[in-house]
Amino acid sequence: MLAEIAPDPWIIRSRPNPGARLRLFCLPFAGGGASTYRGWPAHLPVDVEVIAVQLPGREERLREPAYTSAVELSRKLVTVLARYLDRPFALFGHSMGGLVAFELTRTLRAAGLPLPEHLFVSAHCGPRKAFCLPPVSGMSDRELLMLIRRMGGTRDEVLQDDDVMKLMLPLLRADLTICETYHYIPEAPLPCPISAFGGVLDDHVRRADVLTWGAETSGGFQARMFPGGHFFLDDAKPRLLQTIAEDLATHRAPAGVSRARLDGGASPC
Whether the CB-CB separation of 165 and 223 falls below 8 Å is answered with no
pTM for this model (two decimals): 0.90
Domain ranges of the chain: 11-268
Catalytic residue, chosen from 14, 74, 95, 122, is 95
Sequence-distant (6+) residues with CB within 8 A of 152 are 229, 230, 231
pLDDT confidence of residue 94: 98
- What is the dihedral sign for C-alpha 75, 80, 82, 84? negative
**Helix/strand/coil (H/E/C) assignment for every residue in 41-53:** HHHCCCCEEEEEE
pLDDT confidence of residue 166: 85
**What is the rounded CA–CA span in Å between residue 211 and residue 207?**
6
pLDDT confidence of residue 6: 56
pLDDT confidence of residue 224: 98
CA-atom Rg of the chain in angstroms: 18
| Multiple choice CATH, 11-268, 3.40.50.720, 3.40.1350.10, 3.30.70.2740, 3.40.50.1820 | 3.40.50.1820
| 217-240 residue pLDDT tens | 999 999 999 999 999 999 899 999
| 144-183 residue pLDDT tens | 888 888 877 677 777 778 888 888 899 999 999 999 999 9
Provide the β-strand partners of residue 89: 23
Whether residue 218 lies in the annotated active site: no
Spans of the chain, pLDDT less than 50: 1-4, 253-265
pLDDT confidence of residue 2: 37
